Structure 1
Amino acid sequence: MRSLRVDAVLVQAVIAGALSFAHLHDIAEAAGQDGWKAWAYPISVDLLLVAAWRRLRALQADGSPAAAAWTWFLIALAASLGANVATAGLLDLGDVPDWLRILVAGWPALAFLGGTLLVHSPNNTAEHTADETEDQALYVDRVESTEPVPATDPAPAALEPTEAPAPPATRPEPEPEPAPVQPVEKPRQAPAAASVPSALVDHARKLADAHRARTGSPMDTDTLRARLGVPAPMADAIAAQLT
């Protein structure tokens, strides 16, 4: 039953897409765009619609502002929906108004601008830069707080010159040299478990939730360590707190 339902949805999507494609082609051709240009307009509108929707879902999964993605999604939806409504007899395709010719002629530049802004989003770049800066600052603070301070040896006292002793009357016999004392090696203590800042744990939880929302599976320790830029022991400690 599930496979039949999926097939029905796909057939419905193909039919709706073909009708919308044909309507956009008819509007472009009526507005003076002939040949291959009339066929390129439906592709441009549908691609901008899909790209804006994918960008919108990604921003919502990361918890980032999605106003720009919403804007371009509505523009592409208005272009597709307007073409479908206009071909329903409300517009004379033999004599289209000048404003429609202007909109159709200016669409390529508008679609190019929208696609470029969706791919190179300044909000997304600034967010990743801020996250990387915060991760590096937290890691530096942790290293500085756990790094031992080397002990400084006191400066040796200056040797004062002493008077040379008088030579003995008789030469004493040499005393046997004492056996060298073997230094006792202290047992090495196990390093204390590194403490993880709560801010870093919260940020790691946010990244793990976003990864789960996008892929449907939990984030493994290697991916978490690569995203945070921390050593493997610290990544293991963070992953233990996330479970």
Structure 2
Amino acid sequence: MDEVEVVVAHAERATLRVGDVFLKVDADRARVDAEVEAMTLAPVPTPEVLWRKPPVLALAALPGTTLGRLGGPATGSPAAWGAAGAALRTLHDAPPPPRTGRAGRSVVALAAELDAECASLVANGLLPADLVTRNRRVAEAALRPWTPAFTHGDLQIAHVFVDGDEVTGIIDWSEAGRGDALYDLATFTLGHEEHLADVLAGYGTDVDVDLDVIHAWWSLRSLLAVRWLVEHGFDPFAPGCEVDVLRSRM
């Protein structure tokens, strides 16, 4: 019998792998419905849905390997990173779905959440005040009007599979919906700034990508993530992870 591998698990959801099948367990049925809908609409390779029996969603494993993970070494050639950028551009150019995704939170709501989180990080001694203050200023550039795009909403490099220089699939669509395209670009390159140029080369030079906004999303996403990660058993202080990203902005 195949062993059961726990891919990720926390209070909100868990993902298990048994052989060539991934089992996603999520008590929030609306989130699972949104994920399946997004995979159906997305014009990029996604996992095959094998079956659904709430709260479990069974997906076929994708061929190839990921480009790495946050806090670990990045793999893949510049061409592979460029192919990921091209796939992301294809997604962003598609008609956006009606649902607002994680990358589509309003500027007002996002600014309020960010201010509250920054205050909490300092008050609870999780991060020094100067680090938080500096990154809050950097994050300001992300708080601006944007044109709605079809966004993945959680495009970590561990969610993109490649085989050689070809993208074979993108997983974990539960946060997908209408949103800011630069949020996806920033999430994908978070902690791996050295590959940003490769990704943008694949994304296309016909569109103006504001690097200040990319940097702002790195700071904003990291500031919002630190406390949640600590409370759910993850380590944002590990080398190359969120706190190092914040330090790099200093």
Could you say which TM-score interval applies, normalised by the shorter chain? under 0.3
- Return the TM-score normalized by structure 2: 0.20
- Return the TM-score normalized by structure 1: 0.20
Report which of the two has the higher share of strand. 2
The structure whose RCO (Cα within 8 Å, separation 6+) is larger is: 2
Larger radius of gyration, structure 1 or 2? 1
